[in-house]
Amino acid sequence: MRFIVVLFIIGSFVFPTFAVDFLFNSFGTITNGTGLILINDARLESSVVRLNNDSNQFSFGRAYYPTKLTMKPGDNSTNITSFSTSFVFSVLPEIASSPGFGLCFVLTNFTSPPGALASQYFGLFTNATVPTVAPLLAVEFDTGRNPEFNDPDDNHIGIDLNNIESDETASAGYYSSSNGSFVPVNMKNGQNIHAWIDFDGINFEINVTVAPIGVSKPSRPTLNYKKPAIANYVSSEMYVGFSASKTNWIEAQRILAWSLSDTGVAREINTTNLPVFSLPSSSSLSAGAIAGIVIGCVVFVVICVSGWYLVWRKNNLKHQEEDEIEDWELEYWPHRFSYEELSQATNGFSENDLLGSGGFGRVYKGTLPNNTEIAVKCVNHDSKQGLKEFMAEISSMGRLQHKNLVQMRGWCRKGNELLLVYDFMPNGSLNTWIFDKPKKLLGWKQRRLVLADVAEGLNYLHHGWDQVVLHRDIKSGNILLDAEMRGRLGDFGLAKLYQQGEVPNTTRVVGTLGYLAPELATVSAPTSASDVYSFGVVILEVACGRRPIDMTAETDEEAVLIDWVREFYGQGRICEAADGRIKEEYEVEEMELILKLGLVCCHPDPQRRPSMKEVVAVLVGEEAAATPKELLGELAGGDGNFDDNGGEPGGHSGGSFREEEPLQPQLPV
């Protein structure tokens, strides 16, 4: 039997009390009051102390050694006893990314400290904003980050002097005895953690060390705390033990073994045969016998009653599991936000924080606990399968990083709703700076910069990665301005979600009316050339200060921006298409170049549109001036065959070049 309890009771000459020295290598079959005092939800579960009850929302539990430690000869004395303790614990959250709680090693004058709260208070501390001096001292092994308590991270240890806010903290890990380097230790994945606490009452010093099982006690402690204030939190006799609590999120906190001595070094725990806790790999099956009976019954019922039961059950289970996190979700993405986190960041998705509701869903502004501003995009989808495929794609996009792309920070799924978290762009989208508010009108210089930025971002998507990433929905509304008023492309790849799972005969064209390349109406497979087309429309929009389709225009010719610009071009006075409000700001040659670039990008024939590399060369590089000349010359000259090969869905003309209006080959550069 591994159940070893040794209790030395030695009359002390210094203090007229008992010395304490015990080793629980397993808690065996102890009962409440003999080996441990178990408070509230704490209980013994196969020889291991389990501190919480999963089915109670605000569960907490404590386990104490029944004999109090004599900490000092009298309440007014500052001669404090030293002790050393070592224990093995395991913290196993049901959902790896859920906000964790952890547990505390505690020294307390009362088994039930007054005002103790569950949830993030370890079932030990109060929420009093001004903590009082009381005999309560704890070492927290915290697996959640509570910014309101100044927690540094979600995996740390701390010294708590009757206060949930730690007086000192350190990230969980240990200093390697062989090379001295810090090795982080994850305390929230269920692995068995060996902890050592050396309490030095003479020097008012507490050393805490954690390491995984198998690592012998490192010589340098993880946390070294040394303050005479310790004396204020110690009473003459104190209970010693553990405490933990939880809220909605299930987390199993277990103590597997424990030794303590107040006369010397705590005895060593034999860690060889300790049980190991991990989540069952298949969530639908639980403990063997019960599962067997359940399956047996189900099979019996299926055979006896009818086949529809199976279907019903399957559907029913599927329904129940809807909001549970599935294995595939955890494989993706560096950061998976919890729904609570995002809900908190956006004040419960309040209307006040709504930034807009575009084609793919609503976008909220949010603030993370560390004051980072984010934009949360809520995308709905009717099929989880579609979401799954999309996630695989979009998670690879998380790796895309470019100064001209809106950086994605993470994601969260709830049912069929996907929440995508992006950097917040304080200056909104480009279209508002060109159409909406005349007082916020963007000058030509800045427009030029933004166009160049976006071209670089799109060039990166097309050519900067091992595979071509299509944007599929380029428009001024998807171009965002950061704090420096530089352009960033948002929403890349999102359009793809809406092409999946479609019936083949009804392939839906995704994108925005007015920006869609004409070939999409017939061929329907988007290409990098169709992205270039949309970008061409953006160029014209920005240069002309007109929407791609002007609903207020009197004739169709005037309504479609491309046709309108081509009209001017055909008459040899292309610059008259430019935005009149910024007339003083641009040079005619430059404006001409930009407008022509826009037209070339919108060439009806996808083959004749430039690549984004070439577009960047025109917009960014002065030294590359030869390129635009050739590019525009070749494309604009050619055989001059600009048939209008189809309208956009919705009946708007995608292009209306006619042979009698050839582009001029010579360029004003």
Ligand X SMILES: *[C@@H]1O[C@H](CO)[C@@H](O)[C@H](O)[C@H]1NC(C)=O
Q: Kindly tell me which of 109 and 528 has the beta carbon lying closer to ligand X.
A: 109
Closer to ligand X by Cβ: residue 273 or 352: 273
Nearer to ligand X, 221 or 545 (CB): 221
Degrees to nearest 5, angle at CA 470 with 633 and 462: 55
By beta-carbon proximity to ligand X, the closer residue of 53 and 664 is 53
Name the token pair of 535: 């970008």
Tokens of 445: 């210089």
* Least distance in angstroms from the C-beta of 357 to ligand X: 22
| Element housing 193 (H / E) | strand 193-200
- For ligand X, the closer of residues 87 and 535 by Cβ is 87
Burial class (CB in 10 A: 0-12, 13-18, 19+), 430: buried
Nearer to ligand X, 545 or 604 (CB): 545
- CA–CA distance, 528 with 508 (Å, rounded to integer): 18
- State the nearest-atom distance from the C-beta of 460 to ligand X, in Å: 22
Q: How far is the CB of 43 from ligand X (least distance, A)?
A: 6
Summarize the chain as % helix, strand, coil (round to 5). 30, 25, 50
What is the secondary structure of 444-489 as a DSSP string? HHHHHHHHHHHHHHHHHHHHSSSS--------GGGEEE-TTS-EEE
Q: How many CB atoms lie within 10 A of CB 106?
A: 25
- The distance of closest approach from Cβ of residue 14 to ligand X in the complex, given in angstroms and rounded to an integer, is 8
Min. distance of Cβ 76 from ligand X in angstroms?
Answer: 4
Residues listed for the chain = 669
Binding residues for ligand X (CB under 6 A): 2, 32-33, 37-39, 43, 53, 55-56, 73-77, 79, 109, 127, 129, 135, 176, 178-179, 181, 183, 198, 200, 205, 207, 220-221, 224, 235, 270, 272-273, 368, 370, 372, 409, 426-427, 483, 485, 503, 505-506
How many other C-beta atoms can be found within 10 angstroms of the C-beta atom of residue 288? 8
**In the complex, what is the shortest distance from the CB of residue 337 to ligand X, in angstroms, rounded to a whole number?**
8
Q: Which two tokens stand for residue 382?
A: 């009717």
Nearer to ligand X, 203 or 380 (CB): 203
The tokens for 167 are 């007086």
CA distances in angstroms from 472 to 122, 454, 517, listed in the order given: 50, 14, 10
Q: Which helix (H) or strand (E) holds 255?
A: strand 251-261
Token readout for 23 is 């080793």
Specify whether the CB–CB gap between 109 and 239 falls below 8 A. Answer: yes
Beta bridge partners of 479: 489
Task: Report the alpha-carbon distance of residue 591 to residue 445 in Å, rounded.
Answer: 11
Cβ-contact 519, 647 below 8 angstroms: no
- Is the separation of the CB atoms in 38 and 47 below 8 Å? no
User: How far is residue 149's CA from residue 119's CA, in Å, rounded to a whole number?
Assistant: 13
Q: Closest distance between ligand X and the C-beta of residue 273, in Å?
A: 4
Residue closer to ligand X (CB basis): 14 or 625: 14
List C-alpha distances in Å: 104 to 109, 182, 547, 647. 15, 23, 62, 69
Question: Looking at beta carbons only, is 205 or 393 nearer to ligand X?
Answer: 205
Tokens of 66: 């029944």
Q: Are 320 and 397 in contact (CB under 8 A)?
A: no
Question: Residue 457 is encoded by which pair of tokens?
Answer: 């971002």
Q: Report which DSSP code applies to 611.
A: P
Choice among 41, 142, 473, 579 that is catalytic: 473
473 catalytic? Reply is yes
Cβ-based neighbour number of residue 103 at 10 Å: 32
Please state the closest distance from residue 363 (CB atom) to ligand X, in A: 17
CA–CA gap between residue 204 and residue 55 (Å, rounded): 40
Q: How far is the CB of 316 from ligand X (least distance, A)?
A: 24
Active site amino acids: 473
